[in-house]
Amino acid sequence: MNKISLINPYNNKKLIQKNNNFIDEDGNIFSGKNYIPRINNSTSYTNNFGYQWNKFAETQILKKNYSDGIDINNLRLFQQTSWKKDDLKGINILEAGSGAGRFSRVILENTSANLYSFDSSNAVDANKKNNLTFFNKNFFLSQSDIENIPYKNNMFDKVICFGVLQHTKYFYKSINNLIDKLKPEGEIIIDFYPINGFWTKISAKYILRPLLKRLPNNTLLKLIEYSANTFINLYFIFNKLGLNILTRFIPICDIKNALPDNLSPEKLREWVILDTFDMFSPKYDNPQKISKVKKYMENNNIEITFAGFVKIKNMKSAVIRGIKK
Ligand SMILES: C[S@@+](CC[C@H](N)C(=O)[O-])C[C@H]1O[C@@H](n2cnc3c(N)ncnc32)[C@H](O)[C@@H]1O
């Protein structure tokens, strides 16, 4: 299958790499710092993610982090997508908001698909470091905004977007931008934070976010590191006493439901710090009702093949899969 060319999303003209820049025929230049095309430099609202993924580049990636040897990223990718490895040979997959590249890595290690991943933050540097072996062979990375994806429309066999949409400025417009990139009969798979009921936003996370998201990244991280042990202990005490209903008011991530259950104590602390930073620092955090997103996609040329929760060991994700008509 033919590879897909990188374009300048502002005029649709092909970008060619020259030395360490990417240039179109009109002479428009994009930096290629670290040999990654930097199409987007303006989405400063995701700087927190760049900071987070470069600090914790390997935390969620290496298999050695898992005491029982189960690679939770592999499990999650294949359960959420329902893909069979052999169906992916040579196809073109677009991955939106790739972070430090945990899912990029699963695709690259397990399939021979061509993968085009982008993220609006400099998390792409962490992704490159994690997946260097594949870089520019069948793996094409760019620092790009979901608002201006640097590939032509109707090109991709599959589009995935995991853990991203609730953090974008325009949740629904972002979905349309992804659908535009799919070929007719191509498949889109997204996951996002769900609204489960009126209580979804009654938690330490949503009470403290208006304040904590405004702190400088390093101050917030220090605060979380300083308090992590106390809150982890408190979480487990509440859990042991059957007071699970109260754990949502402890200002750390939901250990039992959001983290793999096979982490060593040191790794658990590292994941808690990362996930707690990830919950307080984003500028946008807009959970959605699965039924509403499903309806929206149906109204935007997608035939839904699945909409609901996918269970991955002790965790669950709100997932929608569909095919472009
Ligand atoms: C919670 S992280 C998830 C990363 C990765 N998908 C994973 O699951 O490990 C969300 C990512 O979405 C990226 N992101 C948020 N808004 C974006 C946008 N407008 N365009 C591209 N990426 C965006 C962030 O920079 C961040 O790396």
Question: Is pLDDT above 70 for 35?
Answer: yes
Task: Decide: 51 in ligand 1 pocket, CB within 6 A.
Answer: no
- Dihedral (Cα; 141, 134, 55, 61), 10-degree rounding: 120
Q: Locate the ligand 1 atom nearest the alpha carbon of residue 95 and give its number.
A: 6
Question: Is pLDDT above 90 for 197?
Answer: no
Question: Is pLDDT above 80 for 92?
Answer: yes
Write the pLDDT tens digit of every residue in 124-164: 999 999 999 999 899 999 999 999 999 999 999 999 999 99
Q: How far is the CA of 131 from the centre of ligand 1 (A)?
A: 17
Task: Decide: 125 in ligand 1 pocket, CB within 6 A.
Answer: no
Task: Decide: 121 in ligand 1 pocket, CB within 6 A.
Answer: yes
- Residues contacting residue 210 through CB under 8 Å, at least 6 positions apart: none
Task: Decide: 119 in ligand 1 pocket, CB within 6 A.
Answer: yes
Q: How far is the CA of 10 from the centre of ligand 1 (A)?
A: 21
Between 63 and 116, where is the model more confident?
Answer: 116
Q: How far is the CA of 237 from the centre of ligand 1 (A)?
A: 33
pLDDT of residue 261: 85
Q: Side chain identity at 14, as an amino acid letter?
A: K
pTM: 0.96
Task: Decide: 76 in ligand 1 pocket, CB within 6 A.
Answer: no
The domains located in the chain, with CATH, are 7-195+287-324 (3.40.50.150), 199-280 (no CATH)
Q: How far is the CA of 282 from the centre of ligand 1 (A)?
A: 10
